[in-house]
Amino acid sequence: MITVLRIGHRPARDKRITTHVALTARAFGASAIIIDLHDSELEDNVRSVVDRFGGDFQISSGVNWRRYLEDSGAVKVHLTMYGIPVQDCIDNIRQDASRKGNLIITVGAEKVPGDLYGVADYNVSVTNQPHSEVAALAIFLDRYNHGDELSARFEGRMEVIPKARGKEIRNRVGNSITTTKPKRKD
């Protein structure tokens, strides 16, 4: 099981980016996201996506991050630009997580508490340059899952149908399926 832990969430400032962290976690193979500060609106938004597009993804907020990490028994990864390059440690992380059965990936919203570096089993960088935690999470999960998550099926009420051009969404309501194609403007 893979869980993403978001610490330092500031609802007034980080709502959109934390939503992107949650959706990236879901799309790239995590089972859950835990957010340190309570934010029921964020929880509702993510649950709405899961309800419509499927999958078994959980979200909880208002969780003490330090206690959660210390009590988890999981392999703890902290994504930070100050860490060891992902390509140099991903195999060891996979092996350790396979033995322990659980992996927690921590991403910060603001400057993280310094003691997180000591609590983490691995401080991992996706480049040693400043950039988005969403990008770092996506690349880390892609490397961790060997790219298998890119072909995952979520079996939701709504399904995006891949197209070279245009948009198509299949809606499942009960036993019927309808396909919606946006109208073309001539």
Residue percentage of the chain with pLDDT more than 90: 75
| pLDDT at site 175 | 54
pLDDT grade, residue 182 (50/70/90)?
low
Instruction: Extract the tokens encoding 124.
Output: 């991992």
The 10s digit of each residue's pLDDT in 59-78 is 999 999 999 999 999 999 99
Task: Give the residue from 76, 87, 78 showing the smallest Cα distance to 124.
Answer: 78
| Confidence band of 178 (pLDDT split at 50, 70, 90) | low
Average pLDDT of span 3-20:
90
Q: Domains in the chain, start-ordered, CATH in brackets?
A: 2-154 (3.40.1280.10), 156-186 (no CATH)
Highest mean pLDDT range out of 16-20, 109-113, 160-164? 16-20
Euclidean distance between CA atoms 70 and 59, whole angstroms: 19
Phi–psi pair at 136, nearest 5 degrees: -60, -45
pLDDT at 119 over 70: yes
CA distance 107 to 110: 9
pLDDT of residue 54: 93
pTM above 0.85, yes or no: yes
Average pLDDT, the chain: 92
Residue 103, CA distances (Å) to 100, 121, 128, 173 in order:
8, 10, 22, 35
